[in-house]
Amino acid sequence: MIITISITSFIVGFVIGALVTRNNVDEVNKIVEDAQDLAEKAQAELAEYKAKQKKTTKSRAKKTVK
C-alpha cells in the first residue's frame, strides 16, 4: 500500500514538474544561462584566489624557514 502511494506520488510529481517546465521553457533557459555565466565567473575568481594563495604561502614558508 505504502509503496503504491510512493510510486504514484513520484509519477504525479514528475508529470506536474514536466508540465510546469514546459510552460516556462523561456524562463528556465534564461535561468540556466545565468547560472552558467555565474559558474564561469566563480571559476575565474577561484583560480585567481588560488594563485594568490600559492604566492602568499610560498613567501611565508621561506620566512619561517630562516
Backbone angles phi, psi at 24, to 5 degrees: -125, 35
CA distances from 58 to 4, 41, 47 (A): 61, 26, 17
Q: Considering only CA atoms, give the Rg of the chain.
A: 24
pLDDT digits (tens, 9 = 90+) for 29-52: 899 999 999 999 999 998 888 888
The mean pLDDT value of the chain amounts to 84
pLDDT band at residue 1 under the 50/70/90 scheme: confident
Nearest CA among 45, 42, 31, 19 for reference residue 11? 19
